[in-house]
Amino acid sequence: MKAAPDLQRRLLDLQSVDTALAQIEHRRRTLPETAEAQRLHARRNALAEGVVEAETRVADSGGEAAKAENDIVPVRQRRERNQQRVDAGEIADPKALSAMVEEIAHLGKRIGDLEDLQLEAMEALDEATAALDAATQARAVAEAELRGVLEARRAKLAELDAEAAGHTAERDALAATLPEELLGLYARVAEKSGGVGAALLQRGRCTGCQLEATSADMMRYRGAPADEVLRCEECNRILVRTNESGL
């Protein structure tokens, strides 16, 4: 392929822009904020599960406390009725009165046991409520941290997008000055060579693969017409000659 030397050298400018765009894309993929956002997402989700579990414990503890209250009410009412009958002298039969007094005592013990259960249920409810408050607060903190990181990530991406837009405009302008055949060759080589389609021959070394040309290769490069598009014998990239090439 033939192309004027200045057009070949322009490939190096194009390569420089493409390298900058590739670096921007790499920075986009490897933003520290992205990894931090993923970490905080996972933490927020775990804390949200903890809130659900805490809410379940509060509901269960509340149910136990309500049950304890419901269990104790009828026992208290019965003891009060029995005590009122005894106090009013409604039971004349001594045996019946003795049985009633024993039942009142039994009901009092039963009430004491139920009150102990009620106290335990209320303490469990208080602990579950405190745990729910702590879990809710921890989730809120994680969500705030996540929002902050996502905002920082959006700002960084916006900066990279603006930077990429500038390079893309520069690339379009450069590409418009190159022959379609030369530009197509550059694109095909870049696709097969890790994004580097053109490299400078610098002091006998290809800056694409960083290998030094052999004496035979250097003789061939020296003998090639200035408008011949050379290819590196090692990496097959377009090899651009300048005053730095050592020819």
Report pLDDT digits (tens) over 172-190: 999 999 999 999 999 999 9
Tokens representing 23?
């670096």
Average pLDDT value over all residues in the chain: 93
Q: What is the C-alpha separation between 45 and 42, in angstroms, rounded? A: 5
Q: Give the type of residue at 47.
A: L
Task: Show contacts of 20-23: CB within 8 Å, 24+ apart.
Answer: 20/167, 21/164, 21/167, 21/168, 21/171, 22/195
Q: What is the C-alpha separation between 47 and 136, in angstroms, rounded? A: 8
Give per-residue pLDDT as tens, 26-46: 999 999 999 999 999 999 999
Choose between 75 and 228: higher pLDDT.
Answer: 228
Q: What is the C-alpha separation between 213 and 194, in angstroms, rounded? A: 21
Window from 47-51, 113-117, 173-177, 202-206 with minimum mean pLDDT: 113-117
Give per-residue pLDDT as tens, 44-99: 999 999 999 999 999 999 998 888 889 889 989 988 988 888 888 888 778 887 88
What is residue 69's predicted lDDT score, i.e. its pLDDT?
Answer: 87
Instruction: Give the percent of the chain with pLDDT over 90.
Output: 74
Q: Which residues pair with 198 in a beta bridge?
A: 238
Three-state DSSP class for residue 180: helix
Q: What is the C-alpha separation between 158 and 179, in angstroms, rounded? A: 33
What is residue 167's predicted lDDT score, i.e. its pLDDT?
Answer: 97
